[in-house]
Amino acid sequence: MILSSLGFLVEAAAVVTLVILGERDRDRFATLGEILDRVMATRAARICILTFWWWLGWHFLFAQTVDPGAGAP
Amino acid sequence: MSEKVARRRISWPTAAWITILLLTGGFQIYRGAPVDGGVFLAMAVALILDLTGILPAPRTGEWRPSRIILICVLGAAALVLALTPRHGIGDGVAIAVSGILVFLVAWPQHDIDATGGSAWTPRMRRAATLWASVGIAVCLWELTMYFLGTYVDRYGFPALSDLLNPLLDNPIGRILFAAAWLVGGVALMRRGHGNARLLERGGASRHPSEGIK
Q: Tell me: the pLDDT tens digits for B88-108?
A: 899 999 999 999 988 888 888
- Hey, what's the torsion of the CAs at B120, A10, A12, A14, to 10 degrees? -30
Mutate to test the interface with B, among A15, A24, A47, A56 (most CBs of B within 10 A): A47
Residues 6+ apart with CB under 8 A from B159: A4, B142, B145, B146, B149
Q: Residue B47: its pLDDT value, please? A: 94
For residue B191, the model assigns a pLDDT of 79
B39 lies in some domain:
yes
**All structural domains of chain A with their residue ranges:** 17-62
Pick from B114-118, B119-123, B208-212 the range whose average pLDDT is largest.
Answer: B119-123
Residue B21 is part of which domain span? 1-57
A13–B contact, CB cutoff 8 A: no
Q: Is B121 in a helix, a strand, or coil?
A: coil
CA angle B160, B164, B168 (to 5 degrees): 145
Residue A35 sits at the chain B interface (C-beta within 8 Å): yes
- For residue B75, the distance in angstroms to the closest alpha carbon of chain A comes to 16
> Is B212 within 8 Å of B202 (Cβ atoms)?
yes
Q: Which of residues 52-71 of A touch B (CB under 8 A)?
A: 52-66, 70-71
pLDDT for residue B211: 44
Measured distance CA(B173)–CA(B171) in Å, rounded: 5
What distance in Å separates the CA atoms of residue A47 and residue B39, rounded to the nearest whole number?
11
Nearest-by-Cβ selection for A11 from B126, B141, B194: B141
Whether residue B202 has pLDDT greater than 70: no
Higher pLDDT: B139 or B73? It is B139
Mean per-residue pLDDT, B153-182: 91
Cα–Cα distance, B18 to B10 (Å, whole number): 11
Q: What is the pLDDT of residues B28-77, one digit of tens each?
A: 999 999 999 999 999 999 999 998 888 777 655 556 667 788 788 888 99
Q: Is B213 on the interface with A (CB under 8 A)?
A: no
- B205: in domain: no
- Please give the share of chain B, as a percent, with pLDDT higher than 70: 77
pLDDT score at B112: 64
C-alpha span between B108 and B85 (Å, rounded)? 34
**A70: region left, alpha or beta (phi > 0 left; psi from -120 to 50 alpha):** beta
Q: Is residue B188 part of a domain?
A: no
Number of independent structural domains in chain B: 1
Report if residue B17 sits inside a domain: yes
Q: For residues B129 and B189, what is the distance between their CA atoms, to the nearest angstrom?
A: 22
Mean pLDDT of chain B: 82
CB A48 within 8 A of CB A36: no
pLDDT the model gives residue B34: 94
